């Protein structure tokens, strides 16, 4: 993020703090606008990226076997309130044409999708879409479990509630394949 963009965020945070009645000159808040600007640059790092490119493909002899990476931790920001939501993502896919992706790259893809304001439902489907663009596999399954501060600290205030979303594509859309994915996640 450019310095001019960081400065804009800094000024906006300063305005918010002043508007809610805070003294931005007090020691605890003096550097807060700059810290928030740097934090936003980090947690919204994917906003200006047009595509995910940090991956490597490998050849494999096995096809039609379900590959699953379970419980990848993530953090994102709710686009409605700009409050955090966080949890885990489990990704499964069936390789096609002897192509697999490096396992760590699936975790990087989750980070890429999560580092922008979003809603959990879109985050779930975007992981499927991005993985499909890269791999063109026989099918993809994604399950996201998350807690939302917009539900826990404001509004309805239901602390500890968890939202679960799932998206499927290709050969993993049928009931039998979905069931196999869910059973393997439970192991």
Q: Which residues are catalytic?
A: 78-81, 120, 148, 150
Tokens at residue 64, please?
């039609």
Ramachandran area for residue 21 (φ above 0: left; ψ -120 to 50: alpha; else beta): left
Q: From CA 17, how far away is CA 21, in angstroms rounded?
A: 6
Question: Is residue 69 annotated as involved in ligand binding?
Answer: no
Count Cβ atoms within 10 A of the Cβ of residue 160 and give its class: 0-12 exposed, 13-18 middle, 19 or more buried.
exposed
Helices (H) and strands (E) in the chain, counts: 6, 7
Question: Could you tell me if 140 and 132 are in contact, meaning their C-beta atoms sit under 8 angstroms apart?
Answer: yes
Q: From CA 22, how far away is CA 184, in angstroms rounded?
A: 51
Return the closest-CA partner of residue 79 out of 34, 32, 126, 38: 126
Question: Is residue 53 annotated as involved in ligand binding?
Answer: no
Query: Per the annotation, where are the binding residues for Zn(2+)?
Result: 78, 81, 150
């Amino acid at each position: 993020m450019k310095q001019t963009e960081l400065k804009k965020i800094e000024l906006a945070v300063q305005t918010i703090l002043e508007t809610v009645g805070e003294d931005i000159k007090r020691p605890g808040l003096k550097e807060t606008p700059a810290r928030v600007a740097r934090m936003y640059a980090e947690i919204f790092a994917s906003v200006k990226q047009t595509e995910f490119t940090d991956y490597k493909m490998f050849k494999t002899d096995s096809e039609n076997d379900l590959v699953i990476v379970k419980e990848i931790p993530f953090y994102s920001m709710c686009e409605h309130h700009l409050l955090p939501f966080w949890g885990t993502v489990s990704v499964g896919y069936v390789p096609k044409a002897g192509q697999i992706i490096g396992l760590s790259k699936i975790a990087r893809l989750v980070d890429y999708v999560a580092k922008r304001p979003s809603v959990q439902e879109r985050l779930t489907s975007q992981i499927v879409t991005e993985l499909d663009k890269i791999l063109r596999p026989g099918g993809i399954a994604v399950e996201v479990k998350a807690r939302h501060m917009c539900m826990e600290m404001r509004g309805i205030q239901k602390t500890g509630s968890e939202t679960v979303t799932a998206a499927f594509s290709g050969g993993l859309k049928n009931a039998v394949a979905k069931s196999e994915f869910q059973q393997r996640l439970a192991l």
